[in-house]
Amino acid sequence: MDDKGIEASDSAGAAGSGKSAVQQVASATLPLEVGSVALGDDGHIRRSDEDRPLFFRFSACGIGFEAHLDNHAAPLRVRANLGKLPFSAESPEARRLARTVIAATDRLRRGHILLTAEQDMVLEGELTPPSPRTPVSVIATAVSLILDFKPYLDLLGEAVAIRRSPPQSSDDAEPAPAKA
């Protein structure tokens, strides 16, 4: 029996090989690289030599990111929509800070934050993961990119907070109740 409890003769007919998923993966060269195993049409895990793109999503710093590897030799590309640029009417200070932060990212060598025609702030970065491209090295590459952008994301967070918080005048402030 194989690792799925199927007789080797049954799996040989279905998968075209008498090897179980565990046997196939165990006979593969280690470490296993991203994309080197796939789910077969029969539902079994199998080794794959195809050079397929990899796409995944993750969240970091409260932001949703998309990551993409076009092929085995391509850099990892990370992208996130950070929201709209604050309007001047909402907060000139927030708009000015956001534009300053966006301009400052042009100095980053691994990416930048750009402003789209629709006034969306979009983070784009890329970095080539080290070989072998294991799941750990791909995730570590994504983390490295996010860490490059973290100070800029923190500053943009301040701009968005400025935009969202209504101005408070001293007349609006209520005294704190006295404790007994």
Q: Set out the domains of the chain in order of their start, with CATH numbers.
A: 9-47 (no CATH), 54-164 (3.30.1460.10)
For residue 158, the surrounding DSSP H or E stretch is helix 135-164
Is the pLDDT assigned to residue 116 strictly greater than 80?
yes
For residue 22, the surrounding DSSP H or E stretch is helix 21-26
* Percent of all residues in the chain with a pLDDT value above 90, rounded to a whole number: 46
The model's pLDDT over 92-107, given as tens digits with 9 standing for 90+, comes to 999 999 999 999 999 9
Is the pLDDT assigned to residue 59 strictly greater than 60?
yes
| 110 neighbors 145 (Cβ within 8 angstroms) | yes
Q: Work out the average pLDDT over 149-166.
A: 78
Is the pLDDT assigned to residue 178 strictly greater than 70?
no
* pLDDT confidence of residue 118: 96
Residue whose structure tokens are 């929201």: 83
The model's confidence at residue 137, banded by pLDDT at 50, 70 and 90, is very high
Is the pLDDT assigned to residue 168 strictly greater than 90?
no
End-to-end CA distance of the chain: 76
